Amino acid sequence: MPIIEVHLLEGRTVEQKRELAGQLTDAVCRTLGTRPEQVRIILSEMRKEDYAIAGRLVCDGN
């Protein structure tokens, strides 16, 4: 059972998340030869003040 964990910055719509989940599932099924019912996806949203790049918070303009 493949489990995919995706970390995203907040702000995506439910429709975008649906599309992402569908595309990821399709890619895993094609690549691994598994059935969609076996694929699990965890979408974790992060606030921009909870994520940093090169030591700077994304909310500060990264």
Residues annotated as catalytic (active site), given as ranges:
2
For 29, half-sphere exposure in the C-beta direction (CA atoms, 13 angstrom radius) is: 13
Q: How far apart are CA 53 and CA 26, in angstroms?
A: 30
